[in-house]
Structure 1
Amino acid sequence: MYKLVLVDDEVEIRNGLTQYFPWNEIGFDVVGVFENGKKALTYIDTHAVDVLLCDIRMPVMTGLELAQELHSRQSKIKITLLSGYKDFEYAKQALSYDIKGYIVKPTKYNELYEHFSKLKQELDKADEEQHGRHGNDDNSTFNEKVIAAIRTYVEQNYKHATLEEAASLVRMNSYYVSRYFKEKTGQNFSDYVAEVKMSKAAELLKDIRYKTYEISEMVGYSHAKNFTRTFKKHFGMNPREFRNSREDERG
């Protein structure tokens, strides 16, 4: 998911755009909603943001001022401006700030959907081009670092590891990371997470103080049946059989 911030001083518009438009369906996650540019900028200073949907006319800091500030920082955030009919001449000033588009208020569902679907495609293409520009040696090193970072994240956070968090860590889109990880390792991300969980579970089963359902929870399974099924698929035996086999080896 690409991270999107919405900025508009009208509460009805903020609520409408966040609650009634299917951002997730087209690949965006609304990570921040603000009433003026200054608050949005404060958030952007400390959080990763890919896309900004921003009204032009707002108190404290206008959308145009926010776009100008981000442009001066050479920010890669893609900006779309919300504009009233009377603001359109004003909006033309933003041409030098690499604005991705203007959407006239009141917003229309089809126009929003089409605009952000195209923007999603542009972002996906840019992602692939960015990670395909490295030379053979550099590319190999880059790939190794990315995969190592993802593996380390999973090993340290196996209980609640998610593709979205891993993607955010390496600053890639989650859909792209899913394909990327499979291509470079030959293994699905979800399968790798399960593998790490099962490895940890096997270690814990050696300690007879823990019951199976406790180990299930410790490695991130809320239902022991799901844990047992995954464990048996991985080791060819259920947790009890695994524990007994280890005790027989020691005996």
Structure 2
Amino acid sequence: MYRLLLVDDEADTREALSSYFPWQEVGFQIIGQCGNGKEALNFIQNHDKIDVILTDIKMPVMSGLELAEVIHEQKHNIHVIFLSSYREFEYAQKALRYRVNNYIVKPAKYQVLLDVFAGLRDELEAAKHALDQPPSGTSNEGLIITQIKAYIQNQYKDANLEDAAKQVYLNANYLSYLFKQKTGQNFTDYLIQVKMKVAMRLIQENQFKTYEISEMVGYSNAKNFTRTFKSYYGKTPSECKNG
């Protein structure tokens, strides 16, 4: 079980999240609840291992954004997910800056929670598997691919082949060859696949404009994003929103 800390100034929200979602079935165990970011930091300091924090954004004393910033600056190995009624693009952009893993809009839909945490579980499993594997031969190549996939899933906005190669201490050209050989898919194609899946989830939540989603998944030009999205899904973002 991966260890999850809930942070929200509304006790009813914490109670609902802890009681009505099947965390253990998805692979998570709630180890505590806090009412603001400062309480969460104190909790972190007094507990050995926390894998994930699910936090509201706007809270008294210390906000979720401030909490994420401290976690990022102190390099805690903790994944952060925002859960907030605030839909503003500014919050989503700051979340990306602090390497927040995801941004869920209240009221959280069951399927969205399930998709987000199942994906995070798979990412954590991949990282754990990578650490457990012996660094030799074919198994080492499999380990490299696992690490690269986890890197892309976590850093899809800014991920690129050169940076990925640095993660595993390989030449970029060789990594490109190895990734294709082991997965049957180009590095760039896999990166686009991850970006498009994230984009589709954001579109289905119907909380952000197309140009905002474009930036959130790493496209500076919304037209290029729309073109790629239509090529991948056969529909434009607007058509998916409306249908």
**Which TM-score bucket, shorter chain as reference?**
0.5 to 0.7
Q: Provide TM-score, normalisation by structure 2.
A: 0.54
| Structure 2 spans left out of the alignment, 5+ residues | 138-243
Q: C-alpha displacement at 1:55, in angstroms?
A: 0.5
User: Sequence identity of aligned pairs in percent?
Assistant: 47
Q: In the superposition, relative to structure 1, how do residues 98 and 133 fare at CA in structure 2: closer, same or farther (>3 Å)?
A: farther
Q: In the superposition, relative to structure 1, how do residues 130 and 12 fare at CA in structure 2: closer, same or farther (>3 Å)?
A: same
Q: Which residue is equivalent to 1:97?
A: 98
**Deviation digits for residues 9-48 of structure 1 (CA, Å, limit 9, x no counterpart):** 1111111000111001110000011110111110111211
Q: Which residue is equivalent to 1:57?
A: 58
**Deviation digits for residues 51-102 of structure 1 (CA, Å, limit 9, x no counterpart):** 0100011001100100000101111101100122444422311212111100
Is the Cα–Cα contact under 8 Å of residues 80 and 100 in structure 2 kept in the other structure? yes
Distance 2:136 2:36 in 1: 43
Distance 1:36 1:116 in 2: 22
| Runs (4+) off by over 4 Å | 133-136
Q: Which residue is equivalent to 1:20?
A: 20
- Tell me how large the CA RMSD over aligned residues is: 1.8
Q: Which amino acid aligns with 1:16?
A: A
Q: Provide TM-score, normalisation by structure 1.
A: 0.52
Is the Cα–Cα contact under 8 Å of residues 3 and 50 in structure 1 kept in the other structure? yes
Q: Which residue is equivalent to 2:11?
A: 11
Q: Which amino acid aligns with 1:26?
A: V
Q: C-alpha displacement at 1:133, in angstroms?
A: 5.8
Distance 2:46 2:136 in 1: 32
Q: In the superposition, relative to structure 1, how do residues 61 and 135 fare at CA in structure 2: closer, same or farther (>3 Å)?
A: farther
Q: Which residue is equivalent to 2:194?
A: none
Check if 1:74 corresponds to 2:45.
Answer: no
Q: C-alpha displacement at 1:134, in angstroms?
A: 4.7
Q: Which residue is equivalent to 2:84?
A: 83
Distance 1:88 1:104 in 2: 12
State the secondary structure of the residue aligned to 1:30: strand
Is the Cα–Cα contact under 8 Å of residues 81 and 101 in structure 1 kept in the other structure? yes
Q: In the superposition, relative to structure 1, how do residues 52 and 133 fare at CA in structure 2: closer, same or farther (>3 Å)?
A: farther
Distance 2:110 2:20 in 1: 9
Q: Which residue is equivalent to 1:109?
A: 110
| Structure 1 spans left out of the alignment, 5+ residues | 137-251
Q: C-alpha displacement at 1:132, in angstroms?
A: 2.1
Q: Which residue is equivalent to 1:29?
A: 29
Distance 2:131 2:88 in 1: 35
Give 1:131-210 correspondences, 5 Å limit.
131-132=132-133, 134=135
Q: Which amino acid aligns with 1:91?
A: A
State the secondary structure of the residue aligned to 1:29: strand
